Amino acid sequence: MSVTCLLCGCLVFENARWSSFVLLFLYGFLDSVDGPLSRATDTSNKGGALLDMVADQMGIILVPAAAIYFLGASGPLMVIFSGVYLAFIVLIIYANQEQIKIPRFVRIKGVVFLLYGACIYFQEDWLTPLVVVFTPYYMVMIMIVLRRLYVKLVDIKT
């Protein structure tokens, strides 16, 4: 259901702009409660966790693409942001599997989704300034995580 909210929130029509914000808010809410709920009811599994992760990352591709189409946002900036953010998430997952301590970091997935909904409603592109600020941030974080991975590899070989 949350994936449906994500898709519909991105593909909103002109005469129902408010629905984008509502659907993306609903997606964020459902996304935040589905994991704890499945653990509390002892119904969690690796397939569900994988589906949740894929849906999150799909949103980081869909929302900027929709912003390009519906808001006229900068295509190159949105594509670079999506790629950098996804590369960072992949590195974080790998670092966690390798039990490499990673620094605290800011996840802006929810902010991106809600801001896009507000952008659609008001027909203003506020997403591009956010992307301009956070793309370099995630690039720096990628370098930090890569350095920690490298240090671990060097320690293993010596």
pLDDT for residue 148? 93
Assign 14 a pLDDT band (cuts: 50, 70, 90). Answer: low
pLDDT for residue 3? 65
pLDDT for residue 84? 97
Q: Which residue spans within 20-158 are E strands per DSSP?
A: none
**Model pTM score:** 0.82
Q: What is the 3-class SS of 120-136, one letter each residue?
A: HHHCCCCHHHHHHHHHH
How is residue 12 written in tokens? Answer: 């909103």
Q: How far is CA 34 from the centre of its chain?
A: 16
Q: Which CATH number fits domain 2-157: 1.20.120.1760, 3.65.10.10, 3.30.360.10, 3.30.565.10?
A: 1.20.120.1760
Inter-CA distances, 16 with 7, 12, 68, Å = 14, 7, 19
Assign 12 a pLDDT band (cuts: 50, 70, 90). Answer: low
pLDDT for residue 5? 66
CA distance 20 to 151: 44
Residue 102 pLDDT exceeds 70 = yes
Residue 137 pLDDT exceeds 90 = yes
Sign of the torsion angle spanned by Cα atoms 50, 52, 54, 56: negative
Higher pLDDT, 27 or 125: 125
CA distance 95 to 31: 23
Least confident of 30-44, 51-65, 121-135, 141-155: 30-44
Residue 34 pLDDT exceeds 80 = no
> 3-state DSSP: the chain helix, strand, coil percent, rounded to 5?
80, 0, 20
How is residue 28 written in tokens? Answer: 């964020």
- pLDDT tens for 41-89 read 887 777 777 777 777 788 888 889 888 988 899 999 999 999 999 999 9
